[in-house]
Chain A
Amino acid sequence: MKTKLFAILLGALGTIASVHVSAHHSFAAEFDANSPLKIAGTVIKVDWTNPHTYIFLEVENDEGDYEEWGFEMGSPNGLMRRGWTRNTLEIGTEVIISGTRARDGSLKGNAQTVLIAETCQRMFAGTSQRDFDESSASNEDCE
């Protein structure tokens, strides 16, 4: 009886834990490394969650309409090791994001760097720094 109860408990906890795991995925499955993008906008939401942090921007397109773009970044723990805090990007912060576009063409991307326009601070936001060339991070976009 005890074994049966333990098995049921283990199953329930496993189900709960798997909800979080379902959000984790392969980069290549969702994003196209051959579709780089650079986009400027205003931060409207930040989800500081595991396994990935997400930021959402309001972006004015060429027609003058506003679109909501979502960008996946590294885990909160990984970002904190690179100097981020939960409050680094406040609502209303103007940023320029360089990264990779989603394969499905939706308004989604994977952010590699985030340039804060007001302070000209460029921060690495990805999950791996192997492709991040500091020397290429010019400040031409700074105001």
Chain B
Amino acid sequence: MIKRILLLCTMLGLALPTLAQTGHPAAGSWSGNLIPLSAEDPQRIRLLINAMDGELAGTLNPGRRGVEMTSVSLEAESWTLTIEADMPDGKLVMEGKLSNLGSWTNRKYRGAYTLGNTNGTFDITLN
């Protein structure tokens, strides 16, 4: 009996680190650049995405000048994340794929965007 209890305690102890392996793949704080197809300089962008009960919501450039996302959706079969927001420069639509999902520090979100009359690509990394 004691042997079984000791074994159970050991297994529970070893299992504790796995509790950290949770979370939505899109949730978190992201940083990167919008890279216009024109010769303009890249534009820095930060994303803060939250997942509550499977629903995604978020803020672009969180902080004093943050803009709430009007829509965030993830198509899980292809890991395509689409974000929309009404920015001061016009409507922003970002559509890209999440990759390197096994990493907590180097997860990528890459794709294409339109912002008002401009468009380009983006390269964003999970912080």
Contacts of B46 in A (CB 8 A): 42, 44, 58, 92
28 A-B contact pairs sorted by A residue (CB < 8 Å): A5-B2, A6-B6, A8-B10, A9-B6, A9-B9, A9-B10, A12-B14, A13-B10, A16-B13, A16-B14, A16-B16, A42-B63, A44-B46, A45-B127, A58-B31, A58-B46, A58-B127, A66-B31, A68-B31, A90-B62, A91-B63, A92-B59, A92-B61, A92-B62, A92-B64, A92-B66, A94-B64, A118-B64
Q: Is A12 a contact partner of B13 (Cβ separation < 8 A)?
A: yes
Q: Is B64 a contact partner of A66 (Cβ separation < 8 A)?
A: no
- List A residues at the B interface (Cβ < 8 Å): 2, 5-6, 8-9, 12-13, 16, 42, 44-45, 56, 58, 66, 68, 90-94, 118
Q: Is A44 a contact partner of B127 (Cβ separation < 8 A)?
A: yes
Contacts of B10 in A (CB 8 A): 8-9, 12-13
- List B residues at the A interface (Cβ < 8 Å): 2-3, 6, 9-10, 13-14, 16, 29, 31, 44, 46, 48, 59, 61-64, 66, 127
Contacts of A44 in B (CB 8 A): 29, 31, 46, 127
A interface, by DSSP: helix, strand, loop or mixed?
Answer: mixed
- Per the bound structure, the CA–CA distance linking A91 and B61 in Å amounts to 9
- Per the bound structure, the CA–CA distance linking A44 and B13 in Å amounts to 32
